[in-house]
């Protein structure tokens, strides 16, 4: 298994978008709109490749010179609990640190709070709703 960055618009990027949609949108009866995907242009796309297949993905969106947002963390159903999500997160944090970012933030779905807590993220403030799901803002000093 390899973790790497792929270019916006590349074939592996397209495969990662299909995985994000399958894991993060279709179970909610939603699809990506062109407007939502437009934001991808400004993001760093990180994927986990297992036997030539995109097994997991996340993306980094710079918010300001100090802060980066980690978004759309998703691992395919049959490859969960093998450490892929954790490896994606650590790769994303290393990349952000090496590029001068000091803080990572994310919007965590309530049912994955402990996944992020184990990685050192702390919840901040009250819950809020996104895509119909309760979320918490979480942050980590890089």
Residues within the interface to ligand COA (CB under 6 A): 23-24, 73-75, 80-86, 108-109, 112, 114-115, 118
Strand partners, 40: none
> In the complex with ligand COA, which residue's Cβ is closer, 109 or 140?
109
Q: What one-character-per-residue DSSP string does 24-77 give?
A: IIGGGT----HHHHHGGGGSEEEEEEETTEEEEEEEEEE-SSSEEEEEEEEE-G
> In the complex with ligand COA, which residue's Cβ is closer, 98 or 114?
114
> In the complex with ligand COA, which residue's Cβ is closer, 5 or 79?
79
CB of 81 to ligand COA, least distance (A): 4
CB of 31 to ligand COA, least distance (A): 16
CB of 7 to ligand COA, least distance (A): 23
Q: Is 52 left (phi over 0), alpha (psi -120 to 50) or beta?
A: left
- Neighbouring CB atoms inside 10 A of 19's CB total 20
Coil, strand or helix at 127? strand
> In the complex with ligand COA, which residue's Cβ is closer, 63 or 65?
63
CB of 64 to ligand COA, least distance (A): 21
Cβ pair 138, 124 in contact under 8 A: yes
């Amino acid at each position: 298994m390899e973790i790497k960055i792929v270019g916006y618009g590349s074939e592996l990027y397209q495969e990662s978008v299909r995985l994000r949609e399958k894991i993060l949108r279709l179970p909610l009866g939603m699809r990506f709109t062109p407007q939502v995907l437009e934001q991808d242009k400004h993001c760093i796309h990180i994927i986990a490749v297992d036997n030539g297949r995109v097994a997991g993905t996340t993306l980094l969106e710079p918010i300001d010179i100090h802060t980066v947002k980690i978004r759309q963390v998703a691992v395919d159903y049959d490859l969960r609990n093998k450490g892929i999500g954790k490896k994606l997160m650590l790769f994303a944090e290393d990349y952000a640190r090496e590029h001068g970012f000091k803080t990572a933030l994310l919007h965590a779905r309530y049912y994955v709070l402990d996944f992020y807590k184990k990685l050192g993220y702390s919840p901040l403030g009250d819950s809020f709703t996104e895509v119909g799901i309760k979320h918490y803002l979480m942050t980590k000093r890089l």
